[in-house]
Structure formats: structure tokens, C-alpha cells
Amino acid sequence: MRLSLQIANRFLRFSKGQTILIALGIAVGVSVQVFIGLLIQGLQDGLIDTTIGNAAHITVSTDDSKGIDNYSQIINDIEGSDLGITAITPSITGNGFLKNDETSEPIFVKGYDLASAEGIYEFADRISEGRLPRSNNEVLIGIGLADNLGVLVNDTTDIFLVDGTLKEVMVVGFLDFNVSVINNGWVVTGIDTASSLFGYENAVGTIEIQVDQVFEADAIGAKVAQIVNNDKLIVDNWKDQNAELLSGLNGQSISSLMIQIFVLVAVVLGIASVLAITVIQKSKQIGILKAMGITDGKASSIFLLQGFILGIIGAALGILFGLLLSYAFATFALNPDGTPVIPLSINYNFILTSGMIAVVSAMIASVMPARRSSKLTTIEVIRNG
């Protein structure tokens, strides 16, 4: 083995140009793989984060107009289970209008237990001006809504509902979620204010849940339904509500996999053909080594080791190029606000796997040359000069 390694090493160093060419070929393949892989992953992570980062992954709701009355018991039961729940909050939501002077805007009132809702919505981080509501009848409104109505912090305005209910509230802060639907329509308040506005008596409309394993939301949702064990309650999850997004992501993953496979096939064919030529170039050496008594196994391991060494060098260079490309993309391809178009997501497992696949591919590519080297005899070399 040591001798084979030494010979493989010398062969590679003796034909430097060829060695660099193959290593670069592998490197280009690996870098494309790493770059595209990371790009697609970053894109998908970004999309998922935007879609469900600040939203409930699982909701428990009811069609009953009285709402869910035993909600604290249900919340206790769900929290007591071992389902990887990261946040759970009761909520009351409803439509209405916000009126200031003569103008009014349609709004979506969201009443939460603000302390536990923080785990999902991170309101404190989203406040562009003002503070969180501390007592009843204090609200946060979307920054777009505030603009449209000309409301300032600490102004008092009216919420009215289609049934004529009217409630005076104080605006204590503005929210900025970077999403126009939310910024132009949301009014966030404490659960008690919402409860009295919409006429729930000791009940809530929905229980919102966030989980650790977002892609398990459907399975966890089914377990939540078992815990709740009530036909009148509806348990829903983000995956069912976003089936199109998921199938889009899936299609994207498959197309990225296809690109990676074809790149790999091209790389393997490239290495195999160059190594095949190397065996012919080195047939004299192999022939004389066999006359000196090298075994067929050792003779073929020379070429397998060449494939291995080339694979390692190519993979290392490729990962480096791939990461540089990814960093460059994340640094120079920016949105107008300075954030990267696609956030960089470094997945070490993926990078390592790509590198290992390249090494294994290079070795597979060297199997044919290795077999030729094993079959070559001294007499062929002597006869063919």
C-alpha cells in the first residue's frame, strides 16, 4: 500500500499539468454543487422563514361563536405533552374598522396573551415606535395603518365593528413586520380588550402554537388533536394551509438534485477518460513493475489511489470555490434595503457530503483504469515497445 501510494504520488507529480487539470475539473463540479445546493437551501429557508417564521404552525379553533371556553385547560394539556412546542398562546381575532377623524380603514384585530404571544410574533422587536400594551384598551397598530390614518403614538381612536359595537382605544405603538398586509391592517391588543370587543365570555377564538420541528407540523397537529379530543375543535397546521408552497419547494429541491447529479456524472466521465489515458501513458512503468514482481492488486491500487488523491484535492478546492461563490453572492447580490437577495445558509453536513461524494466518484472513475492496469502484462509492453 505504501509503495502504491508513493508511486501514485510520483505519477501525479510527474504529470503536473494533467493532475491540475483533473483536480480543477473535480473542483469546478464540486463548487457548482456546493454553490447551487447552498443557494437553494438559503432560498428555501428564507421562504419558509418568511412564511411561517412569525406565524402559528398549528392552530386549534372552533366554529362555535362562543369560542373555546376551556382554553386554559387545553393549553396546559398541550404544554404538558412532549411534542416540542416552542410557543403557545390563546388568541381572539376579528374584523373591524379603525376610525380617526373622518377617515376609517378596515382592520384585523388580533388579541393575544401578549406575554406568551411574544414567542411567536416577537412584537417587542417589531415595534418601530412606542411600547407594548400594558393595560386594557391599549393597542399596537401597523405602521402603514398609522400613516394612512395620520395617527400618532398616544392618540386615542375608535374601533367599530359591523354590528355597531364601538370601543375607544389608545395607540401605544407602531408595528413594522415588513409585510404590507400586516402593516396596513393589523391592530394588536391584549386578550381581555379583544374579548370584550368581540363579546367572548371567558373564552378565546383560537389557540396558536409554534413547534420546534416545523416540517413535522402535520404529525404534531394530529397528536394535538388527540390531546384536545373534542369534535367541535378544529386543529389545522401550516403545511396543509400552504400545500402549494410546499410542492413548489419540493420541485425546486428535485431540480437542484438533478443539476447536481448531472454535474457529478460529467465530472466522473471527465476523470475516467483522463485516467484512462494515464494508464496508457504509464503502461511501460506498470509493465516493468510487474516484471519486478509487483502484484496485479498493487498495480491497480496505484490508479485507485490516484483517483482518491485527485478526489481529495478536487473536493477541497471545490468546497473552497463553492463557499467563495456563495459568500460573493450573499455579499454582492443585494436587495435595495441592503439585505442579501438570498440569505447565505451554510450547511456543514451538506458541504461534507458533497466533498465525500466527489472523492467516492473520483475513485469510481478510477476503477476502470485500475482494472486495465491490473490486466496489463510485461510481455505486452515489451512487444509494443
Partner 1 sequence: MGNIIEIRNVNKIYGSTVKTQVLHDISLDIEAGSFNAIIGESGSGKSTLLNILGSLDDPTDGYIRIDNRQISELSKKELALLRNETIGFVFQFHYLLPEFTAIENVLMPYKIKGKKVTGEIMARANELMEMVGLSDVKHNLANNMSGGQQQRTAIARALMNNPKIILADEPTGNLDSGSTEVIYELMRSVNKEMGTTFITITHDQRIADKADRIIEIVDGRVMESRRPALEAV
Q: How far is the CB of 295 from partner 1 (least distance, A)?
A: 5
* Of 223 and 284, CB closest to partner 1: 284
Examine residue 292 and tell whether it contacts partner 1 (CB under 8 A).
yes
Examine residue 287 and tell whether it contacts partner 1 (CB under 8 A).
yes
Among 179, 245, 263, 294, binds partner 1 (CB under 8 A): 294
Examine residue 289 and tell whether it contacts partner 1 (CB under 8 A).
yes
* Of 116 and 378, CB closest to partner 1: 378
353: left (phi over 0), alpha (psi -120 to 50) or beta: alpha
Under rule CB under 8 A, how many of the chain's residues touch partner 1? 25
Examine residue 385 and tell whether it contacts partner 1 (CB under 8 A).
yes
Residues 379, 170: Cα–Cα separation, whole Å? 98
With contacts defined by CB under 8 A, name the span among 149-157, 280-288, 325-333, 359-367 that binds partner 1.
Answer: 280-288
Q: How far is the CB of 27 from partner 1 (least distance, A)?
A: 24
Tell me the C-alpha to C-alpha distance, in Å, between residue 327 and each of 115, 150, 194, 319, 344. Answer: 38, 42, 46, 12, 7
Range 235-254, binding partner 1 (CB under 8 A): none
* Of 19 and 91, CB closest to partner 1: 19
Q: How many Cα neighbours within 13 Å face the side chain of 217?
A: 25
Among 69, 155, 176, 296, binds partner 1 (CB under 8 A): 296
Residues 112, 189: Cα–Cα separation, whole Å? 6
Q: Where is 354: in which H helix or E strand?
A: helix 348-365
Tell me the C-alpha to C-alpha distance, in Å, between residue 371 and each of 175, 276, 297, 311. Answer: 69, 10, 9, 18
Examine residue 371 and tell whether it contacts partner 1 (CB under 8 A).
no
Examine residue 281 and tell whether it contacts partner 1 (CB under 8 A).
no
Examine residue 153 and tell whether it contacts partner 1 (CB under 8 A).
no
Examine residue 3 and tell whether it contacts partner 1 (CB under 8 A).
yes
Examine residue 10 and tell whether it contacts partner 1 (CB under 8 A).
yes
Residues 6+ apart with CB under 8 A from 149: 98, 100, 103, 104, 105, 157
With contacts defined by CB under 8 A, name the span among 61-69, 187-195, 320-328, 372-380 that binds partner 1.
Answer: 372-380
SS3 122: coil
190, 133 contact by CB (below 8 A): yes
Residues 6+ apart with CB under 8 A from 277: none
Residues 114, 110: Cα–Cα separation, whole Å? 10
Q: How far is the CB of 25 from partner 1 (least distance, A)?
A: 22
Q: How far is the CB of 299 from partner 1 (least distance, A)?
A: 10
Among 290, 303, 314, 372, binds partner 1 (CB under 8 A): 290
SS3 179: coil
Examine residue 378 and tell whether it contacts partner 1 (CB under 8 A).
yes
Examine residue 13 and tell whether it contacts partner 1 (CB under 8 A).
yes
* Of 15 and 51, CB closest to partner 1: 15
Residues 87, 79: Cα–Cα separation, whole Å? 9
Q: How far is the CB of 274 from partner 1 (least distance, A)?
A: 17
Residues 376, 279: Cα–Cα separation, whole Å? 10
Examine residue 375 and tell whether it contacts partner 1 (CB under 8 A).
no
Binding site for partner 1 (CB under 8 A): 3, 6-7, 10-11, 13-14, 284-285, 287-296, 298, 377-379, 382, 385
